[in-house]
Amino acid sequence: MRPTSLYPVFSSVEIVKGVGPKASYFFKNLLGQNRLIDVLFHKPTGLKYRPRMTDASEIKDGMLPVFKIKVMEHVRPALKKHPYRILCQIQSFKGCQLEIVFFNYHKDYLVSSLPEGEIRWISGSVEWYNGKLQMTHPDYIVKDLDEWKIPLYEPVYPLTAGLTNKMVEFVVRNALKEIPYMDEWIDEILLKSNNWPSFKTALEMLHNPKTYDDLTALNKARQRLAYDELLAGQLALSIMRTRFKKQKGNALIGNGSLNEKLKQVLPFELTQAQKRVIGEIRTDLSSEYRMNRLLQGDVGSGKTIVALFAMLQAVESSAQAALMCPTDILSRQHFKKISSLLQDLGVNVVLLTGREKGKTRTELLQKIAQGTAQLIIGTHALFTQDVEFKNLKFVVIDEQHRFGVEQRLFLTQKGCHPDLLVMTATPIPRTLALTYYGDMDVSVIDEKPSMRQKTETCVIPSKAKEETIQKLNNLLQKNQQIYWVCPLVEESEKSDMANATDRYEELSSYFPNQVGLIHGKMNGAQKDAVMQDFLDKKISILVATTVIEVGVDVPSATVMIIEQAERFGLAQLHQLRGRIGRGAEKSTCLLMYSYPLSDVAKKRLEVMRQTDNGFVIAEEDLKLRGAGEVLGTRQSGLENLKLCDYELQSQLIATARKDAQQIIQTDPELKTPRGQAIKMLMYLFEKDVYIPMILAG
């Protein structure tokens, strides 16, 4: 349970007097949540400086000076569409006039806030115009004695429709008052050597920038807060790791018989990297501790087969193994390939997705519960309530780089403390990997099957489309197979993106009966049928949306055309392109773009053209986009770092990681005074679910 002293900061912004449900709703839009803590963790990105000027000659266009003025005359426009002007005498220094200009205005408001003949203090952006100063829509107008209400410095926040900077600042000021006293959790030596402020002071500094340096990632307050966030994350991972390690799992030793048979039926030699990784997993499975391992390997590096060897080891040990895939298509594809490989091995493989219904489903569930199903392949449906396993001792998760730590934990609660293998083709820069997979051991397949040739990638303008279509003719005559990828399914009014259905019709008119279409709005059976036709070479061109992005494997496809490639992210382009270049034939990828091309988009396409190394692409992606987007976490709402700026503060991760490991080793139950403070940190960063684990062990 969250400590009561933290209740206020975890309350809705509505506890601040003057903030109502409407503002609260806008905060939710802006931050995803509408609690004070979310507003406190919202970093200002700019700064406004409002100097009190005493000399007209020092004023330059665009400055935000504060003046004392005497209102001289309201000049009402003849037409409402003309601006309303108010002439003033600046009192702060001699002999200078100021004209205040309003475009959309309420006359009554202007008359009451700037009455003729009175003194006011005002501030706003100024410009010189014919020897006079002009200010359009002042930011502040206050009465003579209220000058103090105009701040010297003002933080500038990222906003969303409906919220003003003043509103955010107002809530921040109030929220800062609600931070309770907390003991220091950062190691004293680290704190002193970096000269970091306390947590509370750091938040105060964060929201009171006084120089532009204060806005950079090198600022002490920002460094400290980034460290806090990273430390909380690393503690969570350390706790997970320790818990996994401590838990007795199952020693799945196997007798090697099925592994041996699989080797014999395999149509290819395993790569050295595959052999090494199979060995690493074998050792883990054989040990009586629970395995918690990540298998990283670029697209096409052959992860599925590695998983299969491992799953067979479990089956050899009379246990059940499950393979979970993110999509129907992928689980069906795995099911087919694996069943055909295992045809003569006497292993019972079943497929369970959301699409198996009624009697089929009941029968499947029975087989799984009785243990006749030894190898179970499926989607999330595998982990729904009604699925009971007889003795599930090994779970493989394919292509699920978007799972957070908590989801992994949840998935492995089924069965009998199953060993866990997570496979991902999304190459993740090392620093990110430590943050997202820091609880796991890592195996890497760093080699592709040797007969593969590098896919050639070209970047072409969309006006070359007709020409490209003509060229397809040649390819089809050589029996080549082609993916044609479009960004969206249906044309919506808002979007001018190429439309897969349109393209399908266009291509069909050139190449009747040779084109298929697959997109996310089709149902499962329809998708399967099209994929099957493509695999069987009944069709040669497959027009697709990104539904083919993950895992799909048709080795004979050698050409991919991606329309409006500039709209895809790097990771996605890499995944898409990974669908070709899977066989012995040379493959070609055409990235088609339309204008206008932003600099970032240009850079992305260039990166794609130059390299097919997933790790290089991932590093570039991180530089171009930032961490949250690289992992797709912004969309999925998983772990999202708010305070840490990855590109600039990643050097803190290693320290946080070491620190966390040491804390969990020396004070596993967080009983020491520092341990108690650490618990507070975990609550602050909402790692609550890990806290009971500390004791559960």
Is residue 274 a contact point for ligand ADP (CB under 6 A)? Answer: yes
What are the Cα distances from residue 414, in Å, to 50, 352, 384, 392, 419?
A: 60, 16, 10, 8, 11
3-class state of residue 85 by DSSP = strand
Q: Considering CB distances under 5 to 8 angstroms, the limit depending on partner class, which of ligand ADP, Mg ion, none binds residue 305?
A: ligand ADP
The Cα–Cα gap between 126 and 69 comes to: 14
Task: Give the CB-nearest residue to Mg ion.
Answer: 551
**Cα dihedral sign, 218-220-224-229:** negative
Residue 418 contacts Mg ion per CB under 5 A? no
Say which amino acid occupies 333: Q
Interaction residues for ligand ADP, span 22-81 (CB under 6 A): none
Q: Which does 675 bind (CB under 5 to 8 A by kind): ligand ADP, Mg ion, none?
A: none
Residues 128, 153, 268, 410: which binds ligand ADP (CB under 6 A)?
268
| Closest residue by Cα to residue 614 from 499, 438, 455, 502 | 455
Closest distance between ligand ADP and the C-beta of residue 303, in Å? 4
Q: Please identify, among the stretches 220-228, 294-302, 321-329, 374-382, the one whose residues bind ligand ADP according to the rule CB under 6 A.
A: 294-302
553 in contact with ligand ADP (CB under 6 A): yes
CB 158 within 8 A of CB 31: no
Asked if 422 contacts 400 with a C-beta cutoff of 8 angstroms, the reply is yes
Q: How many binding residues for ligand ADP (CB under 6 A)? A: 19
Contact string 534-573 vs Mg ion (x = CB under 5 A):
-----------------x----------------------
Spatial distance between the Cα atoms of 625 and 642, rounded to a whole number of angstroms: 15
Q: Which of 24, 34, 234, 304 binds ligand ADP (CB under 6 A)?
A: 304
Q: Which helix (H) or strand (E) holds 465?
A: helix 465-477
Structural contact between residues 352 and 340, judged by C-beta atoms closer than 8 angstroms: no
- For position 582 contacting ligand ADP by CB under 6 A, the verdict is yes
Residue 164: which residues within 8 A CB-CB, separation 6 or more?
Answer: none
Is residue 331 close enough to count as binding ligand ADP by CB under 6 A?
no
| Residue count, binding to Mg ion (CB under 5 A) | 1
Contact between 302 and ligand ADP by CB under 6 A: the answer reads: yes
Q: Select the residue interacting with ligand ADP from 223, 234, 250, 301 (CB under 6 A).
A: 301
Angstrom distance (rounded) from CA 655 to CA 211: 28
Residue 324 touches ligand ADP, criterion: CB under 6 A? no
Query: What is the distance between the terminal CA atoms of the chain, rounded to a whole angstrom?
Result: 18
| Dihedral sign for Cα atoms in the order 625, 604, 578, 616 | negative
- In terms of CB distance, is 334 or 519 closer to Mg ion? 334
Across the beta sheet with 456-461, what order do the strands follow? 456-461, 588-593, 557-562, 481-485, 541-544, 515-518
Footprint on residues 472-531 left by Mg ion (CB under 5 A): none
Cβ proximity to Mg ion: between 551 and 614 the closer is: 551
Instruction: Check binding of 650 to ligand ADP (CB under 6 A).
Output: no
Of 510 and 615, which CB lies nearer to ligand ADP in the complex structure?
Answer: 615
CB of 422 to ligand ADP, least distance (A): 13
Alpha carbon of residue 629 to chain centroid = 4
The site partner of 516 among Mg ion, ligand ADP, none (C-beta below 5 to 8 Å per kind) is: none
Does residue number 126 form part of the binding site for ligand ADP (CB under 6 A)? no
- Choices 72-80, 269-277, 527-535, 594-602 (CB under 6 A): range interacting with ligand ADP: 269-277
Residues 6+ apart with CB under 8 A from 84: 74, 75, 76, 77, 101, 102, 103, 105, 107, 110
Q: CA 217 to CA 223: how far, in whole Å?
A: 6
Total residues found in the chain within this entry: 697
Stretch that binds ligand ADP, among 194-202, 264-272, 365-373, 667-675 (CB under 6 A): 264-272
Measure the CA–CA gap between 253 and 317, rounded to whole angstroms: 6
Comparison of 273 and 680: residue with beta carbon closer to ligand ADP? 273
The residues that touch Mg ion, with contacts defined as CB under 5 A, are 551
Contact set with ligand ADP (CB under 6 A): 268-271, 274, 297, 299-305, 425, 449, 551, 553, 555, 582
